[in-house]
Structure 1
Amino acid sequence: MTSVSAYLGLFFSALLAATLFPAQSEAVLLALLHAGQQTPWLLWLVATLGNVLGSLVNWWLGLLLLQPRVNQAWWQPSEQRLQQAQAWYRRYGRWSLLLSWMPVLGDPLTLVAGLLRERLVVFLLLVSLAKGARYLLLIALAQAWLD
């Protein structure tokens, strides 16, 4: 696998993994680390950028879903569900985006942030911090295990 295709594969697996589609970027990252042909810090950067961009897709979808022209029958959140999400987000606030790295919880959380109109700068800062830290920890653990 060429270096460019390895980085592209990692980027797109990380992007897809951050959306609401089920995918795993960690396996791709670990395989590339194990192969030892790419620079670990560049793998970290590519995985983080892809994963943050995938979360940005969720945020953007959240912004769009409550627009009257988009809010069709297939997406009609009940007023109760919307109020529950708003109450939860108000209770835990934007800091809950630091959990955006977590499986199952993280992806819907980024969608809710869009639904509730979290500011883009705040969203990007907190999600980048969370996702970057997760990949950094994964790389550090993998390198300690591989050495």
Structure 2
Amino acid sequence: MDEQSSLLALFTSSFLAATLLPGGSEAVLVGVLMVYPELYASALGVATVGNTLGGMSSYVIGRLLPDEKAMLNKIGHKTRGLEWTRHHGAPILFFSWLPLIGDILCVAAGWLRIHWFWAVIFIAVGKFVRYWVIATAIS
């Protein structure tokens, strides 16, 4: 696989891993960096952008959900992710990289109508830090 194909695979993997679909973009990042260590900065950027866009797709899903009263009537109780997001606001999205709960945080942020700009910023920073730690560990 050449450099461009590797980065495309990394983007696809990182996007899908940040949606409600399971995925392991960290393993793809490690693979790309093992074969092409010179792509360090590019791989970090591609993985961060892909994962951030995936997180924002979950945010958009949250924006499309019914209003709060209708939703709470359907689910019958408040979720922990929703309460964390309501209490902490956009900064909680720094933790959107966490498995399982990260998806819930992104959906909750959309549902609570957290401003998209701040959502993108905190999601991107959290995801970048996670990828940077992984990339630095193997370098």
Q: TM-score, normalised by structure 2?
A: 0.88
- 8 Å CA contact 1:99–1:130 kept in 2: the answer is yes
In the alignment, the residues of structure 2 paired with residue 86 and residue 41 of structure 1 have an alpha-carbon distance, to the nearest angstrom, of 34
| 1:83–1:110 distance in 2 versus 1, CA, 3 Å | closer
Partner Cα distance (1:64, 1:20) in 2: 15
Structure 1 segment 87-126 matched on structure 2, within 5 A: 87-126=83-122
* Structural RMSD (CA): 2.1
Alignment partners' CA distance in 1, 2:83 and 2:37 = 47
Task: Tell me, yes or no, if the aligned pair for 1:3 and 1:38 is still in contact at 8 Å.
Answer: no
- 8 Å CA contact 2:82–2:104 kept in 1: the answer is no
State the aligned residue count.
Answer: 136
Displacement of 1:103 in angstroms is 1.1
Q: Is contact 1:29–1:47 with CA below 8 Å preserved after alignment?
A: yes
Rate the CA distance shift 1:110–1:32 in 2: closer, same or farther, 3 A: same
Once the two structures are TM-superposed, the CA of residue 78 in structure 1 deviates from its matched residue by 2.3
Equivalent residues of 1:15, 1:52 under 8 A apart: yes
Runs of 4+ that moved beyond 3 A? 79-88
Establish whether residue 39 from structure 1 lines up as the match of residue 39 from structure 2: yes
What SS is found at the alignment partner of 1:53?
A: helix
Q: Deviations over 1:38-75 (max 9, x none)?
A: 510000000000000000100001101227xxxxxxx8
Once the two structures are superposed, the pairs formed by residues 25-104 of structure 1 within 5 Å of their partners are 25-36=25-36, 38-66=38-66, 78=74, 80-82=76-78, 86-104=82-100
Q: Which runs of 5+ in 1 are unaligned?
A: 68-74
Q: Rg bigger for which structure?
A: 1
Q: Per-residue displacement from partner, 1:99-128 (whole Å, max 9, x unpaired)?
A: 111112111111111111110100001001
| CA positional deviation for 1:82 | 5.0
- Which has more helix, going by share of residues? 2
Q: Distance in 2 between matches of 1:108 and 1:118?
A: 14
Instruction: Give distance in 1, aligned partners of 2:63 and 2:26.
Output: 28
Do the aligned partners of 1:13 and 1:25 also contact (CA within 8 Å) in 2?
yes
Gapped regions of structure 2 (runs ≥ 5)? none
The verdict on how the C-alpha distance between 1:31 and 1:37 changes in structure 2, with shifts beyond 3 A counting, is same
Q: Percent identity?
A: 33
Tell me, in whole angstroms, the C-alpha distance in 2 between the residues paired with 1:77 and 1:21: 26
Alignment of 1:129-140 (within 5 A): 129-140=125-136
| Structure 1 contact 3–37 (Cα < 8 Å) conserved | no
